[in-house]
Structure 1
Amino acid sequence: MQLKKSRKIMNEETKNQKFTMSVELSVLEALGINLYSNAAAVLSELVANAYDADANRVTIDWKLDGERIVVRDDGCGMDVRQINDRFLTAGYKKRDEEGLSSPKFNRPFMGRKGIGKLSVFSISRSVTVYSMTEGGIPEGLRIEAGALQEAIKENESYHPEPVEVPDEYAVKGTTLILDDLKTKRAAITAAALRKRLARRFDVLDERSSEEGGFKIVVNDNPLTFADRQELKKLEFIWEFGEETIPSVALPVGVSRYVIEDATIDSGRNWKLKGWFGTAKKPTDLTDDEEAGSLKNIIVLARGRPIQEGILEKLDFSRLFGNYVTGQIEADFLDLDGEEFEDIATSDRQRLIEDDERVLALQAFLRKAFVGASEEWSKVRPKKEAIDAIKRFPKLKEWVDARPPWQRDSAEKMIGTIASLELEGRRAGEDRKALFRSGVLAFERVGLRQASEDLEQLSGVTAVDLLPLLGQQDAYEAGLWVDILKSRIRAIEQFQHLTSIDEKEKVLQQHLFDHLWLLDASWERAVAGGKMEENLRNIEPGLFAKEPEGDEITGRIDIRYATLSGRHVIVELKRYSVKVETNDLARQGAKYATALKSLLEQQQRGDEVSKIEVIFVLGKPPGTRGMALIAPEDFYKSQFAPINGRFVLYDALIAGAQNQYEEYLAASESARQLDELLGSLDEVSEE
């Protein structure tokens, strides 16, 4: 808002006109009610005013009883004239009227435009002001936003109501009490306010009051570096000129760098201070609901924000930019003098971008970021590798076992995987899977390098081949480890499905996906794999026929044809279902006859003898109608015509487990890699 400047001092006898405020309604709305969208920005204006008033301490009682905010400072205070001329005059140019710095501590003034005090109307409808100078008389007034707006509409001056000053506020300094709060804009917690204010000021010093020290206190607790949430997230930090952040404020193990040349223009003494750094993960900068997004770089001038975020203005698209946060001090952006234009927008959140100072800053930061990004790309994988190896000790054993020329690359591979930004609840599992794949792929890389070395030799002997064959064995064993482990998991899942008596359809799908459960020689790399196939659809234009010519209908659970021409029909029954041998034989004969018919119609009669039928059952089939012969002989007599047999789920599962676990136990190379890859599964990732 822009208040009309008025130096008129009201007659003391006209008490209700002791204070005078005049402002255009459009200015009030533009620069007060609507300019500031959050409470932290509003409180920042009041803190800046306290700093300019040579206060040593500004205290913020945030939302007392949930209904009011009290901001008080121990600065120089104001008398009636100063309240009218300075506080109630929008556009009061402090630097023109009072000089460039405060009288007591010689602080460069933060304020410039004289409109910050109007920000209070964006979060409050009623503001009470108490102020007192050293040895002066305490003064009090109340501004009601509604009454102010009415006066503006009537084109009249507004006279804030004089009020008595309570004893607790009759002290040197200034107090503002904000009542009738606007819920949405003031809807943050005291903890959130602390975090946001701590990031907006660079006045967290330990100087005494006599030395000009300045404290910001929220609900009786001073702000400290501990409130700077972005510092807690850092993995790397670059500081301009020298190290200024106390080590205690940084995480243990943070990597620190100094950009020694922080001069932008030596002739005009334009220099930078402050820092920027990278978090371990981009989400570390966006997950803090109280502090807001930390994924930006705030630019300060004279200790307070002048640009809320400058990263997007740097035309910097490298991955590094997704991890960056920081706070940069560039006092040359707020210079005084006729030759220097005020380049900050009214809300002090943006800069006029075509100013030479802004362009120089952007160019300098872009160059600094490029250099830091290159350094980061080199050292970060190594650091992440160290962290990963701490979590997975077996990885260290694996790295140490690499040939010397491979170890750096192995560590970099581990660090690269460890530093990848993975999202979702399965991020930890996905990273472990990448480690597994990376280890196996690295084995292959090593094999290829060994092959290339041998190609340079003439007259290769058996002695030369032994290292290569040893690496190839390790690589193949590693591949088998992954295959075998996945198969054991498939076996366990299949066992679970049978134990809960799952429906045939579910068992059918699982067995179709893992036909090696029936026979280890059956892989997916065979021809003609079909599941639940209608006999009419096996061959387009053909239908299965009985010898008499009648069509055969039905659905085969699973049909497989191997590359050698072997045709397998699989029929599954639910685990708890009891079936008779005669019924199975009839069903199997129907399917075998149908398939035989189709093969003969395609002139593939030589493959008819290779048809076989397998029944997968939970219990042995019944032997109703069996003569006085052994059950095994009865089964053989019934199933022989269709080259058939049955297998029980329990036997199938036990056989598969024994087969693959015996292989794991027998292969030393596989065992070693299995221990490594297994260790990745055993450690939880935070």
Structure 2
Amino acid sequence: MSSHPFEMSMSLNVLNHLGINLYSNHPAVLSETVANAWDADAQLVTIQLDVDKQKIVVQDDGIGMTAADVNSKFLRVGYQRRENKDSATSPSGRPVMGRKGIGKLALFSVATEILVETVKDGQKSSLLMELEQINAQIGGEDPSQSKPYYPKVMPTDSIDFIRGTRITLTGLKKSINRTASHLRRRLARRFSVIGAQHGFAVTIGGEPISVEDRDLTSKAQYLWTYGEETDHKSIKDGLKHSPRLEGRIGTIGPGKIVRGYIGTALDTTTLRDSAGEDHLNKVPLMIRGKLAQEDILDQFNEVGIFKSYLFGEIHADFLDEDDQVDIATSSRQSIVQDDERYRMLREFIGTEIKHIKRQWTTLRNEEGAKTALEIPEIQEWFLTLGKDTKSKAQRLFGKINQLGLSPEARNEVFAQGVLAFEIMRQKDNLDALENVSAQDLQALGSVLITSADLEAALYHKIVASRLAIIDKLQQLVDDNEKERFLQEHLFEHLWLLDPGWERAAAPSMEVSMQKAFAEISDKLSDEEKKSRYDIRYQKTSGQHVIIELKRAGVTTDTETLSAQVKKYRSALMHWLDNAGKGNEPHAIVCVVGRELRDWADYQGRQTSNDQLRPIQTRVVMYDELLLNARQSYDEYLRNSESVGKVQRILSALVPKDSAS
């Protein structure tokens, strides 16, 4: 007889496949421990996280184990929990979650040392399992060559409880820097049997896990529930608000009952939990109150944005009947896909998703039209439409409502939708909008064709946007920000230099003359080759423009600027002549932050202008540049006495301050 009271035997291949590499995160591993506690008829499970010592302690008040139980059940890998009808339930009658007896190996996924302390019928046992020693003893892939592993017998003096099991995990492979609240949420979502109504409490750091920690049904705008009336009521009682509910039959065959719910969120952003750590756009599959598959949604190739609004929880206990083959994969994190029972469930869920999609589209369309018509300006516009066009406008608002935008963003898209609707109505082509998918509504430019009245409305919006940019740039100049910031803004918004310059062809930034005019580099002097312009582009009118930017704090004079820009001009003129474009106009603009020194002389600025004019150069100050642009656009807005009904909607829904 062996002198060792405890013994574990397996091949290293089994340990690697079913233990060390079983899970990769703490919630998944602790779920196995909590499940074992449920099977042991525990009423309370406590989890303590010691961040300083990087230690996790899980204790339950279940039936515990004798030394014989430890050997025959805990250390026996592949122990068949449900070998007979009596062992398929716990002593109190709970349907047990465990089946293959490999869940305890998950502990090695996150820890290298596992201390097990347990008490049953007054008999105390304590043993320490060390991963390094297990690898050394079992070693090799051939089970016939491996040796039994004997866990280290530990003193029982520290056992201060009279019933149950305490497991201490040390030598953690991953730091437990996550908060207890994170673990609480994750565990709450992995079990549906935690709570007083099930006689099974789980605490983390002394605080109990509750249904509220799951934070799922609070996301729902619409909810479809499955199962008996009591199941519907249980879900409804857990809601923090009152979404539209529809009870559905969950029977898919004799003895095959589906419970749970599928919901759709108001918008997709709500499906990220409050800590931003876990996305809830999934429908997990639960069996016997425990997570069996992370997401059943990935089985369906639903197109469009509808799928991104779905979440829920499906319970299908018939997948784990005691007298049927185990349907779980060896990883214990998913289901065997080709099992007939799972195929039936998948067909049922697929049918339900199609049903939900039809109803969701109708409901969102109705609500979108209602929301849009609560805006006075849109309602006023809507009342001017004929019966047929009203129906099409309502469907358009419904599509916009499917986008799940914030109220501000939704109102802006409503306004753009009205604009698109008016444009397409003038073209007598509203069917083009009918065929636009919801996700394309934020890119309505693909269906917008300019007309005089609507183009004015659009330009009004552009002007408001430009004024907002001018305000931002003014602040940069006032704060004497670096030249780079101003340079980048001017390069992207060349209309700042002249409100009449709407577009520029082939703009470039910070390029040496030698590189820019490589075709005629042999005609450039060494000084010209070394010089580097800040911005160069060609206006739609054909004029070639070079911009010289000076830092806001730099002071220079006309002579210095003249010498510098002559190099740019000479290189540009050589290039134009070589390209046969010698007759095309050109200009050089110098943007400065401070007045030129010689401007202080009598009529100094006029003299400076006269000196620079022959070389097609002018000087403008940053403040003047912004002031001129602001005055030009302000004047446009003041003179727009009547912007039409569409513009009134745009102005009402997209305030000037938000345009950018």
Normalised to the residue count of structure 1, the TM-score between the two structures is 0.68
Of residues 102, 112, 127, the one that matches 1:143 is 127
Unmatched tracts of structure 2, length 5 or more = 139-144, 384-389, 431-449, 524-530
Distance 1:200 1:50 in 2: 14
**Amino acid of the residue matched to residue 113 of structure 2?**
R
Distance 1:33 1:48 in 2: 19
- 8 Å CA contact 2:113–2:169 kept in 1: the answer is yes
Q: Give the CA deviation at 1:185.
A: 7.8
Query: Which residue of 1 is the match for residue 386 of structure 2?
Result: none
Of residues 626, 630, 633, the one that matches 1:657 is 630
Q: Give the CA deviation at 1:273.
A: 0.6
Q: Give the CA deviation at 1:291.
A: 6.2
Distance 2:354 2:412 in 1: 33
Q: Give the CA deviation at 1:474.
A: 5.7
Q: Give the CA deviation at 1:482.
A: 1.9
Query: Which residue of 2 is the match for residue 480 of structure 1?
Result: 459
**Counterpart secondary structure, 1:125:** strand
Question: For residues 548-583 of structure 1, what are the alpha-carbon distances to aligned partners after superposition, in whole Å with 9 as ceiling and x for unaligned?
Answer: xxxxxx9999897886x9x798997968767679x9
**Counterpart secondary structure, 2:223:** strand
Of residues 185, 207, 218, the one that matches 1:195 is 185
**Amino acid of the residue matched to residue 255 of structure 2?**
N
Query: Which residue of 2 is the match for residue 348 of structure 1?
Result: 332
- 8 Å CA contact 1:508–1:572 kept in 2: the answer is no
- 8 Å CA contact 2:284–2:312 kept in 1: the answer is yes
Q: Give the CA deviation at 1:125.
A: 2.3
Q: Give the CA deviation at 1:675.
A: 3.9
Distance 2:612 2:423 in 1: 50
**Counterpart secondary structure, 1:200:** coil
Mapped pair 1:99 → 2:75 = no
**Amino acid of the residue matched to residue 169 of structure 1?**
F
Query: Which residue of 2 is the match for residue 174 of structure 1?
Result: 164
Q: Give the CA deviation at 1:225.
A: 0.9
- 8 Å CA contact 2:225–2:246 kept in 1: the answer is yes
**Amino acid of the residue matched to residue 248 of structure 2?**
E
Distance 2:95 2:575 in 1: 99
Distance 1:187 1:559 in 2: 54
Of residues 54, 57, 61, the one that matches 1:69 is 57
Query: Which residue of 2 is the match for residue 260 of structure 1?
Result: 248
Distance 1:28 1:641 in 2: 87
Normalised to the residue count of structure 2, the TM-score between the two structures is 0.70
Of residues 198, 204, 214, the one that matches 2:194 is 204
Judging changes above 3 Å, is the alpha-carbon distance between structure 1 residues 381 and 79 closer, same or farther for their aligned structure 2 residues? same
Query: Which residue of 1 is the match for residue 45 of structure 2?
Result: 58
Judging changes above 3 Å, is the alpha-carbon distance between structure 1 residues 155 and 448 closer, same or farther for their aligned structure 2 residues? closer
Q: Give the CA deviation at 1:358.
A: 1.2
Q: Give the CA deviation at 1:126.
A: 3.6
Q: Give the CA deviation at 1:383.
A: 5.7
Could you say what the CA RMSD is over the residues aligned between the two structures, in angstroms? 5.7
Query: Which residue of 2 is the match for residue 161 of structure 1?
Result: 153
Aligned pairs for 1:222-621 within 5 A: 222-241=208-227, 243-247=232-236, 249-252=238-241, 255-265=243-253, 268-279=254-265, 285=271, 292=278, 294-337=280-323, 340-380=324-364, 396-404=375-383, 405=390, 408-409=394-395, 411-412=397-398, 414-416=400-402, 418-419=404-405, 432=409, 436=412, 439-440=415-416, 442-449=418-425, 452=428, 475-489=454-468, 491-492=470-471, 523-524=502-503
- 8 Å CA contact 2:35–2:98 kept in 1: the answer is yes
Q: Give the CA deviation at 1:676.
A: 2.5
**Amino acid of the residue matched to residue 666 of structure 1?**
N
Of residues 108, 111, 130, the one that matches 2:98 is 111
Judging changes above 3 Å, is the alpha-carbon distance between structure 1 residues 364 and 659 closer, same or farther for their aligned structure 2 residues? same
Query: Which residue of 1 is the match for residue 640 of structure 2?
Result: 667
Report which stretch shifted further, 141-150 or 489-498: 489-498
Report which stretch shifted further, 219-228 or 632-641: 632-641
Question: For residues 176-223 of structure 1, what are the alpha-carbon distances to aligned partners after superposition, in whole Å with 9 as ceiling and x for unaligned?
Answer: 23254434286754333322221221213443xxxx622223333222
**Counterpart secondary structure, 1:70:** strand
**Counterpart secondary structure, 1:95:** coil
- 8 Å CA contact 1:516–1:522 kept in 2: the answer is yes
Judging changes above 3 Å, is the alpha-carbon distance between structure 1 residues 367 and 533 closer, same or farther for their aligned structure 2 residues? same
**Counterpart secondary structure, 2:375:** helix
**Amino acid of the residue matched to residue 99 of structure 1?**
D
Distance 1:332 1:215 in 2: 25
Q: Give the CA deviation at 1:97.
A: 3.7
Distance 1:41 1:613 in 2: 67
Judging changes above 3 Å, is the alpha-carbon distance between structure 1 residues 283 and 412 closer, same or farther for their aligned structure 2 residues? closer
Aligned pairs for 1:11-30 within 5 A: 19-26=5-12, 27-30=14-17
Distance 1:322 1:213 in 2: 36
Q: Give the CA deviation at 1:378.
A: 4.0
Of residues 219, 235, 245, the one that matches 2:205 is 219
Distance 2:277 2:532 in 1: 63
Question: For residues 213-268 of structure 1, what are the alpha-carbon distances to aligned partners after superposition, in whole Å with 9 as ceiling and x for unaligned?
Answer: 22223333222112214445444433213525545644546x34435121221xx2
* Larger-Rg structure: 1
Distance 1:484 1:60 in 2: 60
- 8 Å CA contact 1:571–1:614 kept in 2: the answer is yes
- 8 Å CA contact 2:468–2:659 kept in 1: the answer is no
Q: Give the CA deviation at 1:356.
A: 0.5
**Amino acid of the residue matched to residue 271 of structure 1?**
I
Distance 2:68 2:506 in 1: 97
**Amino acid of the residue matched to residue 199 of structure 2?**
G
- 8 Å CA contact 1:533–1:559 kept in 2: the answer is no
Distance 1:528 1:109 in 2: 71
Distance 1:530 1:673 in 2: 39
Distance 1:499 1:118 in 2: 65
**Counterpart secondary structure, 2:381:** coil
Of residues 32, 43, 48, the one that matches 2:30 is 43
**Counterpart secondary structure, 1:145:** strand
Judging changes above 3 Å, is the alpha-carbon distance between structure 1 residues 92 and 402 closer, same or farther for their aligned structure 2 residues? same
**Amino acid of the residue matched to residue 107 of structure 1?**
R
Q: Give the CA deviation at 1:621.
A: 10
